[in-house]
Amino acid sequence: MGIGKLYTYTSLPNVTYSAAVEQSTSPADEWQRYLDARKKVDAELAQLAGMENPLVADIFLVHQEILHDKLLTDGVRAAIDRGTSAATATQQVTSELVQLFQNLSDDYFASRSVDIRDVGQRLLAHLSGVSLTGQLAALPTGTILLAEDLTPYDATHLSPESVVGIALAGSAPTAHTAILARSLGIPLICSVGTAVLQLPPGQNAVVDGLQGRLVVEPDPELLDSYTQTRQRLLTFRVTAESHSHEPAVTLDGQRVLVHANVNSQEDMLQVAGSGADGIGLLRTEYLFQERTNPPTVAEQIDAYRLIHRQAAGEILTVRLLDIGGDKPVRYLPRIAESNPFLGVRGIRLLLQHPELLRDQLQALIALSQESGFTGVVRILVPMVSKVVEVHRVLEVLEAIPGYAEQHQPGGPLQIGVMIEVPAAALLADRLAPLVDFFSIGTNDLAQYTMAADRVNSAVASLASPLDPAVLRLIGMACQAGQMADIPVAICGEMAGDPSIFPLLFGLGVTEVSVVAPAVALVKEAVRLTDGDAARQLAEQALQADRAQEVHRLLHPQ
């Protein structure tokens, strides 16, 4: 929650461009100027890529790759050889590449066009000597920044001392700018519409990140309540972080394991100090992508062992490879699918490629058999929509030597399914007796329940995991889990919002797995939760008509 005064920011890429164009000389000199500018940008990016937060560092590693990409370099060289200035060549080639990426149907690549534009901006700034960031660097303390969008370049020049909140007309919560703002601790709301850009600068305003609202000229009473909420949130965070390594127990004495989600080896940098009780979701896709052959059993064992050693907790939950039409790997034939999310994904793909499934299962069993291994390996099956899929995985497991000995009550190996397709939630009572645990993937469960693509921002508000329809399915899975006496975890993004924990607990969720920075906050939310009150809250939420009503139950004003 940020409280301050409005300031409207317009970025100035064209200024640098025209300033640079005027200095045009011979092709050899222009190429040299380009190389000099590139060297400076490279040094800048190398420094940013060395930043401690791995999420932030990753963004600038990608920018370095773009800077040295053949498409960009060869394109600029060819344009300069045709007699164009270094600045015009940079402007033209980066604009063409931005266009090319924007037109790709894959949302992931389309969103990378911002990164290309950003690298282009950095080059132009050095070619012209004009600083784009003067405006941002000189902002007064207590600024609420309004902008159409911010590039990562802009965002790296923001200081949390002066900028207390950001409201963007466009952009998305998963954009790089949002990640950067989060790492700086600046509240940011996005997609608020272009009308905000017309607001007179200097007005008092509040960026309310809880409700996703910009409040302009609040009356003194409202301002007072925002100030108090802000203070409460800050105190909550400080208290949470001071207890992050202690167990999370509800007011009525229930221990709730708060695990971490891990997407890559680098994520472990954050997990290690987070206080996580273990790993609740290791997305193993990172081991399988960007290579020409699948990883061997031995390579996989090494990778899983490393993650388990670095995590302080006992439990290591490894999700079997969840790739499909939208995330291709080179060594599998690519099938064109018009709806990849409804296509051959997760366990469907693994059952079509039994060697991939068997190798991964074999690696996980072998890890649980190693002499130095202490703890539990939980194997998690993604995208289950039919009971028979679980039977088939169990058949493959049973054919692997050692499985039966390892998979005993209290033993080091457990099998679970992801509840992320409505069919699995509806058949949860049939699935529960077959497995040792459930993990509910609310990112997918919301998209499939609401028939709203999770990467399409036009339907983002439809796909809310707080929709009563999604909550009812979560409730069904929890009930089935309870009947079979197995743990029911949630590993979708919603679990990382501490204000949602009481609702999930009331629905019957027994464990959560969240991004590392949310571990301490969610543990603190557990400590403030009372079972009876949580169950009442869940009852009310299940009777609601829509997500907004549930949101109001969680944030009464």
By the criterion CB under 6 A, which residues form the site for ligand PEP? 281, 283, 322, 420, 441-444, 491-492
Binding partner of 278, given ligand PEP, Mg ion, none, CB within 5-8 angstroms per partner class = none
Residue at 60: amino acid letter: F
Q: Which CB sits closer to Mg ion, 341 or 373?
A: 341
Helix (H, G, I), strand (E, B) or coil at 462: coil
Residue at 197: amino acid letter: L
Q: Which CB sits closer to ligand PEP, 237 or 472?
A: 472
Buried b (16+ CB within 10 A) or exposed e, 4-38: bebbebebbbeebbebbbeebeebeebbebbeebb
Q: HEC profile for 240-293?
A: HHHCCCCCCECCCCCECEEEEEECCCCCHHHHHCCCCCEEEEEECHHHHCCCCC
User: CA angle at residue 447 from 516 to 57, to 5 degrees?
Assistant: 30
CB 12 to ligand PEP: min, Å: 38
CB 493 to ligand PEP: min, Å: 7
Q: Which CB sits closer to ligand PEP, 76 or 418?
A: 418
Residue nearest to ligand PEP (CB): 441
Measured CA to CA, the distance from residue 66 to residue 92 in angstroms comes to 15
Binding-site string for Mg ion from residue 383 to residue 422, where x marks contact by CB under 5 A and - marks none: -------------------------------------x--
Structure tokens at 283: 């997305």
Binding-site string for Mg ion from residue 425 to residue 464, where x marks contact by CB under 5 A and - marks none: ----------------x--x--------------------
Binding partner of 347, given ligand PEP, Mg ion, none, CB within 5-8 angstroms per partner class = none
Q: Which CB sits closer to ligand PEP, 441 or 475?
A: 441
CB 425 to ligand PEP: min, Å: 12
Q: Which CB sits closer to ligand PEP, 154 or 277?
A: 277
Structure tokens at 546: 């829509």
Annotated catalytic residue within 176, 259, 308, 551 = 176
Measured CA to CA, the distance from residue 465 to residue 467 in angstroms comes to 5
Measured CA to CA, the distance from residue 290 to residue 80 in angstroms comes to 33
- Nearest residue to 3 via CA among 241, 239, 234: 234
CB 446 to Mg ion: min, Å: 10
Measured CA to CA, the distance from residue 367 to residue 414 in angstroms comes to 13
CB 420 to ligand PEP: min, Å: 5
Number of residues that bind Mg ion (CB under 5 A): 3
Binding partner of 442, given ligand PEP, Mg ion, none, CB within 5-8 angstroms per partner class = ligand PEP
Binding partner of 491, given Mg ion, ligand PEP, none, CB within 5-8 angstroms per partner class = ligand PEP
Sheet holding 188-189, edge to edge: 188-189, 163-168, 143-147, 2-8, 204-208, 213-216
- Nearest residue to 439 via CA among 511, 518, 348, 342: 511
CB 464 to ligand PEP: min, Å: 13
Annotated catalytic residue within 63, 308, 407, 491 = 491
Q: Which CB sits closer to Mg ion, 294 or 441?
A: 441
Helix (H, G, I), strand (E, B) or coil at 418: strand
CB 47 to ligand PEP: min, Å: 32
Binding partner of 283, given ligand PEP, Mg ion, none, CB within 5-8 angstroms per partner class = ligand PEP
User: CA angle at residue 480 from 478 to 485, to 5 degrees?
Assistant: 90
Q: Is the backbone of residue 142 left (phi > 0), alpha (psi -120 to 50) or beta?
A: left
Structure tokens at 483: 């009947």
Measured CA to CA, the distance from residue 510 to residue 508 in angstroms comes to 6
CB 455 to Mg ion: min, Å: 12
Using CB under 5 A as the binding rule, the residues of this chain from 78 to 117 that contact Mg ion are none
Q: Which residue has the tokens 């207590």?
A: 142
CB 327 to ligand PEP: min, Å: 10
User: Counting contacts by CB under 5 A, is residue 493 touching Mg ion?
Assistant: no
Q: Which CB sits closer to ligand PEP, 117 or 345?
A: 345
Binding partner of 492, given Mg ion, ligand PEP, none, CB within 5-8 angstroms per partner class = ligand PEP
Q: Which CB sits closer to Mg ion, 123 or 357?
A: 357
Q: Which CB sits closer to ligand PEP, 11 or 442?
A: 442
Size of the chain in residues: 557
Q: Is residue 190 among the annotated active site residues?
A: no
Residue at 193: amino acid letter: G
- Nearest residue to 526 via CA among 260, 254, 271, 231: 254
Measured CA to CA, the distance from residue 426 to residue 1 in angstroms comes to 39
CB 461 to ligand PEP: min, Å: 18
Torsion over CA: 320, 409, 421, 462 (sign): negative
Binding partner of 208, given Mg ion, ligand PEP, none, CB within 5-8 angstroms per partner class = none
Q: Which CB sits closer to Mg ion, 132 or 490?
A: 490
Residue 358 burial class via C-beta count within 10 angstroms: exposed 0-12, middle 13-18, buried 19 and up: middle
Binding partner of 56, given Mg ion, ligand PEP, none, CB within 5-8 angstroms per partner class = none
Chain contacts with Mg ion (rule: CB under 5 A):
420, 441, 444
Question: What are the catalytic residues?
Answer: 176, 491
